[in-house]
Amino acid sequence: MAIDLRSDTVTLPTPEMRQAMAAAEVGDDVFGDDPTVNELEALAARVTGMEAGLFVTSGTMGNLASLLAHGQRGQEVILGDESHIFQYENGSASALGGMVLHTVPTNPDGTLPLEAVEAAIHSPAHHYHFYHWAPPGVICLENTHNRCGGAVLEPSYFAEVAAIARRHGLPVHLDGARLFNAAVAAGRPVTAWTEHVTSVQLCLSKGLAAPVGSLICGPADFVDRARRMRKILGGGMRQAGVIAAPGIVALTKMVDRLAEDHRHARILAEGLAGLPGVTVDLEAVRTNIVIFRVASAAEAERVQAEAAVAGLLVSDFGAGRLRLVTHYGIGEEDCRRAVAILAACVRR
């Protein structure tokens, strides 16, 4: 069987999750009658320190429903040019919500320059130009940051962005698909970050190993609007307790074990760092994502193809970069074997 390090989305549910799915008490969630979904949403709200939660089918739906609930057609979404929302979500806020994606440059550590965020917010004080610009609607952050190698953004940075947002009366949405990885790596509760944002999207089907689903959390009135957006997007579900049940297991049983994934990522990074022609920033590897660089895009394509033949699946991240992601189901020996396979590939 291949060692699959393409993403932590390839995790399989734990035996306890499968049992929970089979035994789940269910009802029609559109009517609010599914007790398992209700329990999951309430649990997520408690964990994040928010008023309410909403179960959605995916992180992309969670981010989109959140943006639609925060903003209006013609308003800007201020976000990083390396963010998942901009890079991988099909321009959905523009296509379906009529919102404008206003990107600012992303620092290597996943942060957005504060001065760039401030400059992106068009102020009514500039009277003439204000009526030519799209008005600001929402600021988006990401933690951990996928394209920056699983970087952990510190709570102090979130506080600075929140201060900018408050000055301009804007909400802040956090794409927290891997927020629990950040919390485990930093030794902090997720509330250290969520206290500074208006809303957050959490993914259950990455490192937490649930088979499907994400959660949106925020103020009760925001979640009410997001629930309507979920319905508009076709996300209203019926007896959804069978997929919500493993989410409860994910939040209660699978968070602490993320530290294991982080240790395994270090094995990969340190093993790769010693290979000729490979560049790895060891200081940047804090969570479960390892991005390494080879000589060229063509070389990356060759290494990826030859690794697959040898039994290792990795992601081509473009510009000569390859990505490895550790997760539930990947052990220490898998990581050492992965390094050996990559060593053989890059030396050819």
Phi, psi of 207, deg, nearest 5: -65, -20
Instruction: Find the CATH number of the domain harbouring 200.
Output: 3.40.640.10
> Are 65 and 230 spatial neighbours (Cβ–Cβ below 8 Å)?
yes
Asked whether residue 3 is assigned to any structural domain, the reply reads no
Is residue 149 located within the same domain as residue 215? yes
Q: Which residues of 181-217 are buried (b: 16+ CB within 10 A; e: fewer)?
A: bbbbbbeeebebbbebbbbbbbbbbbbbbbbebbbbb
Q: In the predicted model, is pLDDT for residue 24 greater than 80?
A: yes
Q: In the predicted model, is pLDDT for residue 123 greater than 90?
A: no
Domain termination site, one of 253, 280, 307: 253
Domain that holds residue 148: 11-253
Mean pLDDT confidence for 157-165: 98
pLDDT value at residue 133: 85
Is residue 246 located within the same domain as residue 294? no
Asked whether residue 163 is assigned to any structural domain, the reply reads yes
Is residue 261 located within the same domain as residue 231? no
pLDDT value at residue 125: 57
Asked whether residue 322 is assigned to any structural domain, the reply reads yes
pLDDT digits (tens, 9 = 90+) for 31-76: 999 999 999 999 999 999 999 999 999 999 999 999 999 999 999 9
- Amino acid, single-letter form, for residue 181: N
Q: In the predicted model, is pLDDT for residue 113 greater than 80?
A: yes
Mean pLDDT confidence for 94-123: 96
Asked whether residue 1 is assigned to any structural domain, the reply reads no
Domain termination site, one of 234, 253, 272: 253
pLDDT value at residue 183: 98
pLDDT band at 127 (very low <50, low <70, confident <90, very high): low
Is residue 317 located within the same domain as residue 234? no
Is residue 218 located within the same domain as residue 93? yes
pLDDT value at residue 109: 97
- The 3-state DSSP class for residue 136 equals strand
Asked whether residue 273 is assigned to any structural domain, the reply reads yes
pLDDT value at residue 129: 56
**Three-point CA angle 164, 165, 171, nearest 5°:** 165
Q: In the predicted model, is pLDDT for residue 195 greater than 60?
A: yes
Asked whether residue 262 is assigned to any structural domain, the reply reads yes
SS3 track for 289-348: EEEEECCCHHHHHHHHHHHHHCCEECEEEECCEEEEECCCCCCHHHHHHHHHHHHHHHHC
Is residue 288 located within the same domain as residue 211? no
Percent of the chain at pLDDT exceeding 70: 97
Is residue 85 located within the same domain as residue 117? yes
Is residue 109 located within the same domain as residue 20? yes
Is residue 303 located within the same domain as residue 223? no
pLDDT value at residue 126: 56
Mean pLDDT confidence for 139-144: 98
- What's the structural domain count of the chain? 2
Is residue 330 located within the same domain as residue 299? yes
Mean pLDDT confidence for 79-92: 97
Domain termination site, one of 253, 282, 309: 253
> Are 327 and 261 spatial neighbours (Cβ–Cβ below 8 Å)?
yes
Structure-model confidence comparison of residues 20 and 124, the more confident one: 20
Token code pair at residue 171: 């909400």
Mean pLDDT confidence for 246-263: 98
Residue (of 167, 125, 120) closest to 140 by Cα position: 120
Asked whether residue 209 is assigned to any structural domain, the reply reads yes
Instruction: Find the CATH number of the domain harbouring 265.
Output: 3.90.1150.10
In Å, how far are 44, 216, 271, 287 from 111, measured between CA atoms? Answer: 25, 22, 28, 16
Q: In the predicted model, is pLDDT for residue 170 greater than 60?
A: yes
- The 3-state DSSP class for residue 139 equals strand
Token code pair at residue 133: 């610009």
Percent of the chain at pLDDT exceeding 90: 95
Which residues, other chains included, contact 292 with Cβ-Cβ below 8 Å and sequence gap of 6+?
269, 272, 278, 279, 280, 321, 322, 324
Mean pLDDT confidence for 173-200: 98
Mean pLDDT for the chain?
96
- Amino acid, single-letter form, for residue 192: A
Is residue 262 located within the same domain as residue 249? no
Quick one: 62 exposed, middle or buried, by C-beta within 10 A (0-12, 13-18, 19+)? Answer: buried
pLDDT value at residue 115: 98
Asked whether residue 2 is assigned to any structural domain, the reply reads no
pLDDT value at residue 131: 66
Question: What is the sign of the dihedral through the CA atoms of 308, 313, 318 and 320?
Answer: negative
Per DSSP, 214 falls in state E
Is residue 124 located within the same domain as residue 205? yes
Token code pair at residue 100: 């404008």
Q: In the predicted model, is pLDDT for residue 186 greater than 90?
A: yes
pLDDT band at 277 (very low <50, low <70, confident <90, very high): very high
Q: In the predicted model, is pLDDT for residue 315 greater than 80?
A: yes
